[in-house]
Structure formats: structure tokens, C-alpha cells
């Protein structure tokens, strides 16, 4: 199993700081290639959103380096979700406490994807960043934890109406600003040849699913340099269409 990865982030055309944070970790292990991608979209006053997003990224990076090897050694992945829940609870408390100390409300979304060779996939999700699976088509694997996302589920809004709804950025929960955080978890198996894309919401408002698929379909990307160049092209397209948020995207292809 070979792994191609790329990520790209941009401050955008309006904001003074980039409050998005992300990382991709790849390891060669006894059970094959293991990949983790994490993307966090921070928010907060006085440009403190990047403190929240960086804190969560660092916590998951530390888990990948120090705790995941023990789980891989057991070849039993059933405890990973509970480990992630612990990290999220701890980060929610830490970021909240910091915010109270400096008198600022801050928080961050979290979307994390773990692929263990061809045998296991786990997504952890809080907020409105997304994971997409790209094969013969484009599929969103996560649900937006937003007011409009809830209304779509209830049938009160169509996805097209939601894109123009003024509440589209209103989160139902985020790490650091919610008393209780209840993550979504999605489990499955990775399929060789597929592309997985993680992005902050700033990446997807001004471009279409068709444009994403055209750039990132598995037949279109066979080298990491191609992945990064196409990621940059779509980020620049967002900016030309006047996206005002920070813009971030991460890509993984397992072959």
C-alpha cells in the first residue's frame, strides 16, 4: 500500500490571521501504512482561534506518536474511539479554561480521519469542517453540525437553500465553547485508489462539488506534486470568487 498526501492552507482575502490548523501523519507499521489527517477551524476574539485549533492538532499529533503504536501492536482498534473522546473532552476543558482566564470565548471545529492500511477507517467530527470520499463520485462522509445542517435533516431546508442561509456558519457545538461536546464517529474500511479530502468550510462555499471532483478524482492525481498544485488552484479559485474565510484542504490517496 502506497500513500500520497498533500495539504494547503491560505489566510484568504479578508482575515488578519489564519485560524485554521491541520496536519497529516504517515507511518510505516507492522500492520501496514497508517495515515492520520486532522483539520481544525478555530474561532475566537482577538485572533485567539488559532490557539484553540493548534491545541487540538497538537493533542492528536501526540496521540498518533505516543499512544497509537500500542493499539496497533494489539491489532485491536476498538479502543481508538474512546481515546479520541478523551482527547476531545480534555481539550474542551483546557480551551474553555484558557478562555475564561483571558476573558475571551474561543473554540475550534475538529475533523480527524484515521486510515489503517486496508483494514480500518475512523472519522471523528465536531463542527462543520468535512471529510469527502472521492471515487466514481463525490460523497460527503460527515454531517455539518450547524443550524442549517440540522434544518436540512428535519426537511425544513434544502441543501441549495442552506448555502444562502445567513445561519450557515452558526455551529451547534465546538471544542472549547460548548459545555458538553458530543462528537460524531464514522467507522469503515478504506478502499485502495480512493481519495479522501478534508476541508474547512472556507474551502467549499464558493466552489461546486463538480469542480472538486474534476480536480481530485482518483484518475486525475497520481503524484503528490499534482495533488498540492490542484489544491492550490482550488484555493485560489475560492479567493477569486471572494471567499472571506481562511481556506484549508488536505488530501490522501491510498494506492
* Reported confidence tier of residue 39, pLDDT bands at 50, 70, 90: very high
CATH code for the domain of 65 = 3.60.40.10
**In this prediction, what percent of the chain has a pLDDT beyond 90?**
84
Q: 149-174, pLDDT tens digit by residue?
A: 898 888 888 888 887 787 877 899 99
Q: Which three cell numbers stand for residue 203?
A: 474551502
DSSP 3-state of 136: coil
Give the N- to C-terminal CA distance of the chain in Å, as an integer.
6
pLDDT confidence of residue 171: 93
What's 70's DSSP letter?
Answer: H
The pLDDT value recorded for residue 159 is: 82
Query: What is the rounded average pLDDT of the residues 207-235?
Result: 96
Q: Which helix (H) or strand (E) holds 111?
A: strand 110-116
Q: Which single residue is written with the C-alpha cell 500520497? A: 4
Alpha-carbon gap, residue 80 to 53, rounded angstroms: 21
d(CA 174, CA 145): 9
Q: How confident is the model at residue 85 (pLDDT cuts 50, 70, 90)?
A: very high
Mean pLDDT, residues 51-66 taken together: 97
Distances (CA, A) of 173 to 86, 121, 165: 17, 24, 18
Cα gap 197→7, rounded to integer Å: 9
Question: Cβ(221)–Cβ(230) under 8 Å?
Answer: yes
Specify the pLDDT at position 158. 86
Has this prediction a pTM greater than 0.75?
yes
Average pLDDT, the chain: 94
Check residue 47 and give its pLDDT. Answer: 66
Between 1 and 29, the more confident residue is 29
Q: Above 80 in pLDDT, residue 121? A: yes
Q: Which residue has the higher pLDDT, 17 or 162?
A: 17
Number of domains in the chain: 1
Residue 32 has pLDDT above 60, yes or no: yes
Which structural domain range is residue 234 located in?
A: 3-254
Res. 1: pLDDT tops 80: no
Query: 213 pLDDT band (50/70/90 cuts)?
Result: very high
CA 70, chain centre distance (Å): 24
Confidence of residue 57 (pLDDT cuts 50, 70, 90): very high
What does the pLDDT read at residue 46? 56
Instruction: Kindly give the residue spans of alpha helices, DSSP state H, lying in 34-182.
Output: 49-66, 68-74, 80-102, 147-154, 159-164
Q: In the prediction, which pLDDT does 226 show?
A: 94
**pLDDT exceeds cutoff 70 at 244:** yes
Average pLDDT estimate for 102-111: 94
Q: What is the DSSP letter of 34?
A: E
Q: Is the pLDDT of residue 137 over 60?
A: yes
Q: How far is the C-alpha of 28 from the C-alpha of 51, rounded, in Å?
A: 30
- 53 close to 43: Cβ distance less than 8 angstroms: no
Amino acid at each position: 500500500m502506497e500513500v500520497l498526501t498533500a495539504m494547503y492552507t491560505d489566510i484568504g482575502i479578508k482575515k488578519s490571521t489564519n485560524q485554521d490548523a491541520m496536519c497529516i501523519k504517515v507511518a510505516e507499521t507492522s500492520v501496514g501504512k497508517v495515515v492520520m489527517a486532522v483539520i481544525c477551524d478555530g474561532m475566537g476574539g482577538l485572533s485567539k482561534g488559532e490557539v484553540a485549533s493548534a491545541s487540538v492538532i497538537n493533542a492528536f499529533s501526540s496521540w498518533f506518536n505516543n499512544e497509537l503504536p500500542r493499539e496497533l501492536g494489539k491489532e485491536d482498534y476498538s479502543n481508538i474511539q474512546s481515546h479520541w473522546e478523551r482527547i476531545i473532552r480534555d481539550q474542551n476543558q483546557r480551551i474553555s479554561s484558557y478562555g475564561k482566564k483571558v476573558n475571551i470565548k474561543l473554540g475550534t471545529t475538529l475533523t480527524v480521519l484515521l486510515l489503517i492500511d486496508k483494514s480500518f477507517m475512523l472519522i471523528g467530527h465536531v463542527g462543520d469542517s468535512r471529510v469527502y470520499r472521492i471515487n466514481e463520485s463525490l460523497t460527503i462522509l460527515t454531517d455539518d453540525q450547524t443550524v442549517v445542517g440540522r434544518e436540512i435533516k428535519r426537511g425544513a431546508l434544502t441543501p441549495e437553500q442552506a448555502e444562502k442561509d445567513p445561519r450557515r456558519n452558526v455551529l451547534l457545538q465546538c471544542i472549547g465553547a460548548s459545555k458538553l461536546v458530543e462528537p460524531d464517529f464514522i467507522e469503515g474500511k478504506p478502499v485502495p485508489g480512493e481519495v479522501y479530502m478534508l476541508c474547512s468550510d472556507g474551502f467549499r462555499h464558493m466552489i461546486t462539488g463538480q469542480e472538486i471532483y474534476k480536480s481530485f478524482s482518483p484518475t486525475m492525481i497520481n503524484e503528490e506534486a499534482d495533488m498540492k498544485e490542484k489544491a492550490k488552484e482550488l484555493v485560489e479559485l475560492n479567493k477569486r470568487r471572494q471567499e472571506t474565510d481562511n481556506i484549508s484542504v488536505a488530501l490522501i490517496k491510498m494506492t
